[in-house]
Structures are given as structure tokens and as C-alpha cells.
Structure 1
Amino acid sequence: MPETSRRRLLFGTAAVSAGALLTACTSNDPKSEDTARSAGPAADNKPGKPVTIGFAGPQADHGWLNAINENAKSRAAEYSEVKLETTEGSNDTAAQIGQVKTLINKKVDVLVILPADGKALTQVGLEAMRAGIPVVNLDRIFASPQAYRCWVGGDNYGMGLNAGTYIGEQLKDKAGAKVVELAGIDNLELTKQRSQGFADALKNYSNIELVARQAADFTVESGQAKMAQLLQAQKRIDAVWNHDDDQGVGALRAIQQAGRDEFLMVGGAGAKSAMDAIKADNSVLKATVLYPPTMAASAIDLARALAQGKGVSGLAELEIPTSLTLYSAVVTKENIDQYLPTGFS
């Protein structure tokens, strides 16, 4: 949506609210104040005008990506007035561009897009916005802020920072502590951000050294192979941070096969398998740092609010924010019951 349009909507809504407030101040009707409060665009779950949301999600070839799709679909189903137009998930940028163009041609009210490649899909995001279709950009960010109205995603740097801080606190009294990192795909910006956050956290603990790092591919097989290499090379380990719970399944296999249990392990993302292991407390896996797929449900909520001219419940602003970064909570056996319902398969 162009900035001028946003200003018109903001000032127009503000004028309506100001008018309602003036009436409340001058009227003797005791209901006037309540009417003034309800005149604003606060979000709610009451059915509004019919809305068609186009959802261009990823190929569900990974537990977290599948959870993204399921969260979007289940949230949309909660609203009787929302119709969700979904595409067949794709990791091929050309195919996904074509899918988004189809949704634009269908004249959906709002688009929610998790791009296979944010930079590559920026142009089609711009195309949608210029066509008057607001875009909610999910997770992998477009190269231009003009290509989306709102971005919703996880905190990759914070994920690494919180994992490193948790490990640091567990090992702060251990002299010469040795830590290894099982990263994700190294050419992804998110992997670089997670590693940077982890490194920055460890700087606060002078007794801890990051002695080895291996990049895996977010798969069970790669996690097992790369963890086996780390175990073979490092005869002493005090903690492992693994960026992704899917590849963590393989990492745990390698650890069990090697008969190693002298260290603690922290996972990443929040898979149900990881949470089950943390709750059982029968392996080296003691915590996982969330990267919540519930962001897709939030994206649907925001898309609905955009289409219906609503704000966000609990906020004073008349319009939804331009960005929403989710918090990467550390899940341990102490708080596992709180987060277990969010675990994904």
C-alpha cells in the first residue's frame, strides 16, 4: 500500500475516532462513551466482511515448513468469513513466482507469502502491492520494504544469543569448557545470524571456548553425519548447540551410537520430538530454542485485520505494525508443559 494511502487511512480513521470522542464528551447519553471506544479499528474475533487471503507457502519437506502450512490453514479455518486460497508449496523460485502471479490475477484481498528466496520474489511482492493487494511477508524477508505491508518472522540472532546464554549459564563455573556448534545451511543469512548471536553470547563467558563448528543441511541424515564428525574430532565436549531440531534427530543418533553422554545439548526450532526428549530427560538434549511456526497463524490474523481495516487488539495504534519479530524462548524441563502444545512434527 503506498505511503499516501496509508496516511489517508490513518487520518480518516483518526478523524472518525475524534468525532466519536467529541460526541462522547458533549452527549448526556451514558452509552456514548462505550460507542466511542468501539468506533476504533481494534482487532477482534467477531466475523467481519468476507475476506480472501492468498497463501503462498513453502514445500513441506521439513517439519518446520510443514508446520508453517498447517498453522496457516488451521487459523484461517477459525474465521467463518475468511477464504484461504493456497498454492502448492514450492522451493523453486520461478514456480512460486508463477503461483503468486496467479493469486494476484484472482484479485485476492491480501497475500501471505513465505518466499523460497526473499530476494528473488521481491519483484512479485512489489507487483502485488502496486496492484493494491497488501502483502504479509512471512519469515524470509523481501529485499525491499516496498514489497510488503507487514513482515512477520522469527529472531535468528536472538535464537543464537539465547542458546549461547543458556549454555553459558550452565557452564559458567566449569574451567576450560569446550563447546561445539552444529549449524544449518551456511549460505543462508539466517544461519549466519544464529551463529553470530551464539558467538556474541559466549563472549560473556571467558571460561568457554567454541572449539569446533560444522554446517549441516537441516536434514536427519546431515545431522547424523556432521555430528559423527564432530564427536570423532573432539574427545571432550561440554555442550553442543544444534541449530535445527530436524537435523537434531540425526545428531542424537550419532551421539547414542558413539556412547557419549558427558555433555548437554541445546536444539533449535521447537519440534515435538525434541520437546518429548526434554520432558523425558533421558538424553543429552536438555533444551531447545524456539523459532515458532505459529508465526503463520499470526500472519493470517494480520492479513485478516488488513483486509477488514482493523488494528491489533491490545495496541493503541490504528493500523497493524510494519514488522513483528517473535521471541526465541528457551524451553527446558522446567517450562516444557507450557510450550509442549506448540511442538511440531
Structure 2
Amino acid sequence: MVMMLVLTSALAGCGDGGSADGEEKLKIGVALPDFDDKWLSYLQDGMTTYEEEAGNIEGIYVDAMNDAAKQMSQVETFISQGVDAIAIVPVDTESVGTIVDMANGADIPIVVVNRVYEGIEDATAYVGGNSIDSGIIQMEEVAKLLGGKGNIAIMNGTPGHEAEIKRTEGNKQVIEENPDMQVVLEKNADFDRAKGMTLMENWLQSGDQIDAVVANNDEMAIGAIMALEAAGKLDGVVVAGIDGTPDALEYVESGKLQVSVFQDAAGQGSKGLEVAAKAAQGEEVEKMNFIDFELITPDNVQTYVEKWQ
């Protein structure tokens, strides 16, 4: 009986919540907006990879299904469970301030990943890109390809999302610097490929001259390409996206997508979980942890293909 008790105790030390050496694992609640979003799936992969490499982290991943109220409830659950830290990619940039206040009130470190909001300094830290930079980089290359003149159609992401707001703002900054370029069409397609395709089909029916389609992400850009190709009108239209996903890189390699901007999804996820783990252990962390965007063109696309291999 004594031997059985000793064996049971030893096994318990290696069970859930403990690492192989018996050390208690850090429990980090990870609040993500949408498990079905392709780019966010790469971000989550970066988190789980870091979790495996660290060995002392137990990530608890939840899907808000793009519902801000649901995400707030999920964070409330994390707080009631007494997690050691929270990493969050906000559903929207309006409700996240309240969520951060909740975590701060419970004295739980909270790291905001990927999406900046007004009041970000109240969070323990931010990890991600500076979204306006991606819109500037994207439109500068489009302007170069068009020789500084032409009609631009902008596909916006989901209304209210930080990336939708800032990427478009970056686009328009560049357009203002090029008086012979103008926005002739602009509408939301929710970062979605199918919606981007439908929107492009509607734009084609409008009869407006379009020299470039500039999308807030690659998925909408791919949808636009599919519609343009089906209508036999892809030649002569510059199409640009943002994110540099594996699917997008195939389109860049084929020459159908002339511009993308690499946003390191796995790098943001990995760094976000790393910063959350450090904060959970009481370490001092940088407030703003920026991961730079990088221009992707047919000339350098192979460099980014290799990043995903």
C-alpha cells in the first residue's frame, strides 16, 4: 500500500499542470478572436510552438468567434480560474480597454497581440506590427508600379478593426502624396476571400475604370484576383494585399498578386506568449514590442516562401 501511494504521488507530479521535472506550469489564457481566420491560425501556431519549446507553459486557447461580448466573458473566466497571465488578440479595439482594466484589477499581466488600440499603455505590453506602416509600404509599391497615377479601389477589412483602420489610413497617406492617384471605389469585405470575390464582381459591373485593387489583407486580394480572372480582366490591374501568407505567396510567384507585405504571424504569436510568460514570472518586459513589416514582390518572394518551410 505504501509503495502504491508513493507511485501515485510520483505520477501526479508529472500530470496536468506540471512539467517533466515536477515544476508547476505557468497557466496562460490565450483569447483569440477567430479560430477560422487563416492568418490568425499561423499566429496561434507560433504560440503553440513556443509553448512546446519552453516546456513550462500551459496555454488555454479560446475562440471568441468574432464576438466582443463573448471574448470579454472568456477573459472573465480566465480571471476566475486564476491564470498566471493573459495574451489577447482583441476582437475589436473598443472593448479591449475594458478587458485590460479587468485583468489589471485582478493583478494579472495582460499582453495585447497584433492589434493596437487607444490606451494600449494600460496593458502590460503590446506585441505586433505598427499597422499604418503596412498600408504605407503596400501603397508606395502600388504607386511605383502605376507610375504615380491611376484609379484605386480599396478593399477594407472588418469595420472597426485596428488593421482595417490603420492599413487604410496608411494607403490614403500615400495617395495624398500622389495627386494623379485617386480612390474611386472603397468598401468592406471583412478580410474574407469569398466576400472579396463578390465585392470585386460588383465593382466590375459598375463600369468604373480600376487600375489597382488594394486590399487590407491577402485573402481579399486573392478573392479580387479570382473575380478579375474569371472576367478576363486581370491583365492591366495591379492587385496588392498584406500578410504574406503561404497562399498569397503562390499568387505572387504566378505574377497574379504583384504586392504583399509580410506580417510575421508566427513571430508575433511566439513573442506574445514569451512576453506573457516573462510577465507572469515577475520579469520586467518592454511595453511596446514591434515586429517590422516587409515588402514582398515577385523579385524577393522566394525569401518568404522559405520562411514558411
Matches within 5 A, 1:130-149: 130-141=105-116, 144-145=119-120, 147-149=122-124
State yes or no: 1:267 paired with 2:232: no
Q: 2:101 aligns with which of 126, 137, 155?
A: 126
State yes or no: 1:108 paired with 2:83: yes
> C-alpha displacement at 1:343, in angstroms?
5.5
| Structure 2 CA distance for partners of 1:189 and 1:137, relative to 1, 3 Å | closer
Unaligned runs of 5+ in 1: 1-47, 311-318
- 8 Å contact kept, 2:163–2:216: no
Q: 2:32 aligns with which of 45, 51, 57?
A: 57
- 8 Å contact kept, 1:68–1:296: yes
Counterpart CA distance in 2 for 1:187 and 1:121 is 12
Q: 2:286 aligns with which of 310, 321, 345?
A: 321
> C-alpha displacement at 1:305, in angstroms?
2.2
Provide the residue aligned with 2:211 in structure 1.
238
- 8 Å contact kept, 1:126–1:146: no
State yes or no: 1:164 paired with 2:129: no
Matches within 5 A, 1:207-218: 207-218=180-191
> C-alpha displacement at 1:79, in angstroms?
0.7
Unaligned runs of 5+ in 2: 1-22
Counterpart CA distance in 2 for 1:209 and 1:98 is 43
> C-alpha displacement at 1:141, in angstroms?
4.0
Provide the residue aligned with 2:260 in structure 1.
288
> C-alpha displacement at 1:55, in angstroms?
1.2
Matches within 5 A, 1:168-317: 168-172=143-147, 176-234=149-207, 236-260=209-233, 261-281=235-255, 283=256, 285-294=257-266, 295-310=268-283
Counterpart CA distance in 2 for 1:327 and 1:179 is 26
> C-alpha displacement at 1:266, in angstroms?
1.0
- 8 Å contact kept, 1:123–1:147: no
Superposed CA offset, 1:266-315 (max 9, x none): 1122221111111233x2x11212333231211011112223344xxxxx
The count of residues paired between Structure 1 and Structure 2 equals: 285
Provide the residue aligned with 1:340 in structure 2.
305
Superposed CA offset, 1:67-88 (max 9, x none): 2322222221111122222234
Instruction: Kindly name which structure, 1 or 2, has the bigger radius of gyration based on alpha carbons.
Output: 1
> C-alpha displacement at 1:132, in angstroms?
2.1
| Structure 2 CA distance for partners of 1:207 and 1:72, relative to 1, 3 Å | same
Counterpart CA distance in 2 for 1:97 and 1:206 is 44
Counterpart CA distance in 1 for 2:120 and 2:130 is 18
Deviates more, 1:99-108 or 1:73-82: 99-108
| Structure 2 CA distance for partners of 1:104 and 1:187, relative to 1, 3 Å | closer
Counterpart CA distance in 1 for 2:213 and 2:34 is 29
Counterpart CA distance in 2 for 1:72 and 1:51 is 14
Provide the residue aligned with 1:4 in structure 2.
none
* Paired amino acid for 1:225: T
Matches within 5 A, 1:74-85: 74-85=49-60
TM-score (norm 1): 0.74
Superposed CA offset, 1:25-82 (max 9, x none): xxxxxxxxxxxxxxxxxxxxxxx98432221222212212222322222221111122
TM-score (norm 2): 0.82
Superposed CA offset, 1:96-142 (max 9, x none): 22221222222222111122234324333222223221110123345
Counterpart CA distance in 1 for 2:126 and 2:271 is 11
Superposed CA offset, 1:147-176 (max 9, x none): 42001233221121111111112222x7x5
* Paired amino acid for 2:70: A
Over the matched positions of the two proteins, sequence identity in percent amounts to 24
- 8 Å contact kept, 1:62–1:246: no
